[in-house]
């Protein structure tokens, strides 16, 4: 162990340390130095940042597909709303954030990428006192965009029941970096050989997956998702519900779209189950708690929802261009 590790040592480390997973890290901006790096070894966060040692920060994840960001306004609305909720004053305008996001994507050199925007209370000490941080910190990261779940797994997803206590009320509705329950749910899924775990609140009503929203289609073709206040309102789920009300209810594919308390017993009778998220898009669940869902294959409502959502991914009104087309 070197006890006087300095800048030259760090530069030598950066040259020697090139793990394979770094290939998926394209570019990062940090307001700490107000610049963009494409060296993954420099994509770092100060250890005294409240995001690191207190989980005091927010984040958003969205995707750039073929040179344009999908549904950016909804993500920035949620980021700004979360900042107001936790009394974190943002010194950057929305235009500033959009400009930085575009610059990071172009620096990363990929037309397809996943973008993470982090806003923390900032560096400035190691206590829980937020007032010791002189200013917030903004970080924007462009990384590899994984393929949609159904593209890699056309047979559909397997979902189990999580025993991890659910984040309820206030904490369920803020997209903070404090994701320990979510991480434990994902660990449960991986350990069990499943794709996702579904949480339930203290009253036995379904909530959400580790990083995705969840819904069911009843036998009488009602698309049902949990009530607001019990879950993080995902941008993909909200957009899918809007599209379903506008396009699938009038045509009779669905008879309704509802936000409701959904007990475990109702899930056992569901005709279809669905996952909504930035990376999985709309995913069909074909196995729940070890039993087939419906016929055990992706169903007709999933096919229609997936079709209209894929079309929406190319809707100019939903896109913020980053690269010339």
Tallying the residues shown for the chain, one arrives at: 325
d(CA 147, CA 149): 6
Single out the catalytic residue among 63, 158, 175, 186.
Answer: 175
Burial label for 16, CB within 10 Å (0-12, 13-18, 19+), is exposed
User: Phi and psi for 169 in degrees, rounded to 5?
Assistant: 55, -125
- Please, are residues 159 and 194 in contact by the beta-carbon 8 Å criterion? yes
Which residue, 72, 73, 56, is CA-closest to 64?
A: 72
Contacts of 246 (CB under 8 A, 6+ apart): none
Paired with 200 in beta bridges are 206
Active site residue 2: no
Contacts of 276 (CB under 8 A, 6+ apart): 212, 213, 214, 215, 234, 236, 237, 240, 282, 283
d(CA 221, CA 254): 5
- Please, are residues 229 and 261 in contact by the beta-carbon 8 Å criterion? no
DSSP 179-198: -HHHHHHHHHHHHTT-SEEE
Pairs from 245-248 (Cβ < 8 Å, separation ≥ 24): 247/308, 248/223, 248/301, 248/304, 248/305, 248/308
DSSP-derived letter for residue 244 is: I
- Please, are residues 188 and 160 in contact by the beta-carbon 8 Å criterion? yes
Which residue, 130, 124, 140, 117, is CA-closest to 58?
A: 117
Residues noted as catalytic: 175
């Amino acid at each position: 162990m070197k006890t006087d590790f300095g800048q030259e040592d760090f530069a030598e480390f950066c040259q020697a340390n090139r793990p394979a997973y770094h290939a998926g890290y394209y570019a990062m901006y940090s307001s700490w130095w107000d610049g963009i790096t494409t060296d993954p070894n420099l994509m770092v966060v100060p250890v005294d940042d409240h995001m690191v040692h207190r989980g005091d920060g927010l984040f958003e994840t969205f995707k750039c597909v073929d040179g344009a960001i999908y549904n950016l306004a909804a993500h920035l609305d949620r980021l700004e709303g979360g900042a107001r909720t936790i009394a974190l004053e943002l010194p950057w305008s929305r235009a500033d954030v959009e400009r930085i996001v575009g610059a990071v994507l172009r620096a990363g050199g990929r037309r397809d990428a996943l973008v993470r925007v982090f806003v923390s209370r900032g560096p400035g000490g190691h206590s829980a006192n937020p007032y010791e941080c002189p200013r917030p910190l903004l970080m924007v990261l462009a990384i590899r965009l994984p393929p949609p779940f159904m593209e890699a797994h056309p047979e559909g997803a397997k979902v189990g029941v999580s025993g991890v206590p659910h984040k309820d009320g206030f904490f369920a509705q803020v997209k903070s970096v404090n994701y320990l329950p979510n991480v434990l749910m994902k660990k449960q899924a991986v350990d069990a050989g499943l794709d996702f775990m579904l949480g339930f609140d203290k009253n036995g009503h379904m909530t959400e997956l580790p990083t995705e929203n969840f819904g069911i289609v009843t036998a009488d073709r009602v698309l049902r998702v949990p009530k607001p206040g019990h879950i993080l309102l995902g941008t993909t789920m909200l957009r899918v519900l809007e599209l379903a009300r506008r396009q699938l209810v009038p045509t009779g594919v669905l008879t309704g779209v509802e936000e409701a308390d959904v007990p475990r017993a109702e899930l056992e009778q569901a005709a279809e189950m669905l996952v909504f998220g930035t990376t999985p898009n709309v995913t069909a669940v074909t196995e729940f708690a070890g039993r087939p869902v419906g016929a055990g294959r992706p169903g007709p409502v999933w096919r229609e929802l997936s079709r209209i959502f894929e079309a929406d991914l190319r809707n100019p009104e939903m896109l913020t261009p980053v690269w010339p087309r």
